[in-house]
């Protein structure tokens, strides 16, 4: 179909303005990414595109009569932010409102447009302008005049939109009636899943907050032993006194390494609460120190990894509980994987422990 003169003029203006759209695209995506980075907000992705001439021609063929000029077409530049969770879409919307001028007259929250008997899974679209406060180039004043579309949606909303698009339907009304029920069910599942993901995340955050407060308050017997609670516990530096005492043997420097590898060892030792770990520390710190003394004194080794304290505590615990050399081999297998050195290390440590009356 041939375009009329009015539409040809719009198309001609589009071609001339392409460099401005490219520049606008780069500024908008850069500023968005910069703001997200500065505020430690992680999103699943930021996409952008400039409408192709072919696509614009198609749009003008269909409804060119609606547009007085190119400026009336607000989606020549489209930017899309995909969040992990649906409740983050509102956070991104608030950021967009802070960064850009929103054309509220032309902005619609498509999420609220769905009627109860219709299906679909839509995103939030804002029509925006780049404010001079964010970027200004006197040589390109159009940068602050052109409107662009900012789409914000969750990953599952994105999945829905892509699937629908892949099947060749741009809107829910175009779907043949015999398939509408199947699509409605699918949309419902995705929407429910999105809500559930957000809810689970909220619940986990709440749980972590509660556990951190229990750990901080010292109610260790009430704190179940798991990866989260152990992480919170070790953040309190609970083995520091023992590490420093061991370091004093050779006036050693201490390198702070992670204690998380010992989580699996403590699981193996059947720790049920953080209180159990605290009791192990309180009951066996002296023996763990004696073991370090026999191992380090006279060696001149003046650098230690901070994990040495927990390592020796676990060794002493294993031996005191009667698990013997086999228990030490299991501990080393858990930490380093099965290998011959573990058996040799266990034998040597068993003899040293004997010498300082740990067993």
Partner 1 sequence: MKTTIQEQDGKMVAILAGSLDTAAAPETEKAMSPLNDVEGKDIIIDCTELEYISSAGLRIFLGILQNVEEKGGHVYIKGINENVRTIFTITGFSNIFKFM
The contact set with partner 1 (CB under 8 A) reads: 252, 255, 257, 261, 292, 295-296, 299-308, 311, 335-336, 339, 341, 344-345, 348-349
Helix (H, G, I), strand (E, B) or coil at 134: coil
Token match 């190119």: residue? 70
In this structure, what DSSP letter does residue 135 have? Answer: -
303-305 and 253-255: which strand pairing? Answer: parallel
Nearer to partner 1, 82 or 252 (CB): 252
Helix (H, G, I), strand (E, B) or coil at 133: coil
Least separation in angstroms between CB 36 and partner 1:
22
Nearer to partner 1, 200 or 303 (CB): 303
Please check whether residue 331 is in contact with residue 313, taking contact to mean a CB–CB distance below 8 angstroms: no
Please check whether residue 289 is in contact with residue 245, taking contact to mean a CB–CB distance below 8 angstroms: yes
Rounded to whole angstroms, the Cα distance separating 77 from 92 reads 18
CA torsion through residues 38, 40, 41, 47, sign: positive
Least separation in angstroms between CB 357 and partner 1:
19
Closest CA to 53 of 26, 18, 81: 18
Rounded to whole angstroms, the Cα distance separating 316 from 320 reads 6
Nearer to partner 1, 10 or 349 (CB): 349
Least separation in angstroms between CB 71 and partner 1:
47
Nearer to partner 1, 21 or 233 (CB): 233
Q: How many CB atoms lie within 10 A of CB 46?
A: 16
Rounded to whole angstroms, the Cα distance separating 255 from 118 reads 61
In DSSP terms, 147 is beta-bridged to 129
Least separation in angstroms between CB 302 and partner 1:
5
Please check whether residue 85 is in contact with residue 194, taking contact to mean a CB–CB distance below 8 angstroms: yes
Burial label, 67 (beta-carbon count in 10 A; 0-12, 13-18, 19+): middle
Least separation in angstroms between CB 187 and partner 1:
40
Nearer to partner 1, 221 or 302 (CB): 302
Nearer to partner 1, 155 or 306 (CB): 306
Nearer to partner 1, 12 or 302 (CB): 302
Nearer to partner 1, 73 or 247 (CB): 247
User: Considering just the CA atoms, what is the radius of gyration of the chain in Å?
Assistant: 32
Least separation in angstroms between CB 249 and partner 1:
11
Least separation in angstroms between CB 355 and partner 1:
14
Phi and psi at residue 52, to the nearest 5°: -75, 160
Least separation in angstroms between CB 269 and partner 1:
16
- Alpha carbon 19 to its chain centroid, in Å, reads 35
Rounded to whole angstroms, the Cα distance separating 269 from 170 reads 58
Nearer to partner 1, 152 or 310 (CB): 310
Please check whether residue 329 is in contact with residue 339, taking contact to mean a CB–CB distance below 8 angstroms: no
Please check whether residue 125 is in contact with residue 107, taking contact to mean a CB–CB distance below 8 angstroms: yes
Least separation in angstroms between CB 33 and partner 1:
21
Nearer to partner 1, 148 or 317 (CB): 317
Least separation in angstroms between CB 332 and partner 1:
8
């Amino acid at each position: 179909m041939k375009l009329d003169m009015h539409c040809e003029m719009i198309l001609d203006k589009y071609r001339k303005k392409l460099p401005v759209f490219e520049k606008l695209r780069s500024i908008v995506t850069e500023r968005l990414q910069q703001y997200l980075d500065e505020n430690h907000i992680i999103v699943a992705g930021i996409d952008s595109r400039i409408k192709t001439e072919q696509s614009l021609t198609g749009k003008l063929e269909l409804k060119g009569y609606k547009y007085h000029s190119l400026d009336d077409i607000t989606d020549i530049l489209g930017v899309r932010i995909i969040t992990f969770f649906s409740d983050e879409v509102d956070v991104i919307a608030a950021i967009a409102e802070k960064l850009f001028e929103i054309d509220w007259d032309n902005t619609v929250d498509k999420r609220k447009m769905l009627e109860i008997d219709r299906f679909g899974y839509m995103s939030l679209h804002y029509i925006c302008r780049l404010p001079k406060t964010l970027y200004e180039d006197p040589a390109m004043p159009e940068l602050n005049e052109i409107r662009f579309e900012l789409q914000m949606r969750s990953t599952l909303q994105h999945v829905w939109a892509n699937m629908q698009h892949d099947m060749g339907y741009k809107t829910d009304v175009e779907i043949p009636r015999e398939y509408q029920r199947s699509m409605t069910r699918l949309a419902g599942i995705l929407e429910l899943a999105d809500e559930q993901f957000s809810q689970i995340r909220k619940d986990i955050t709440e749980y972590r907050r509660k556990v951190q407060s229990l750990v901080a308050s010292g109610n260790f017997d009430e704190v179940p032993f798991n990866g989260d609670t152990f992480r919170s516990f070790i953040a309190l530096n609970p083995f520091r006194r023992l590490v420093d005492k061991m370091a004093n043997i050779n006036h050693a420097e201490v390198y702070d390494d992670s204690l998380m590898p010992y989580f699996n060892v403590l699981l193996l030792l059947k720790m049920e609460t953080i209180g159990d770990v605290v009791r192990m520390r309180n009951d066996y710190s002296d023996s763990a120190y004696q073991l370090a003394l026999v191992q380090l004194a006279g060696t001149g080794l003046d650098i230690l990894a901070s994990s040495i304290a927990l390592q020796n505590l676990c060794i002493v615990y294993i031996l005191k509980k009667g698990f013997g050399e086999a228990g030490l081999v299991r501990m080393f297998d858990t930490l380093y994987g099965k290998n011959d050195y573990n058996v040799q290390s266990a034998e040597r440590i068993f003899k040293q422990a004997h010498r300082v009356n740990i067993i």
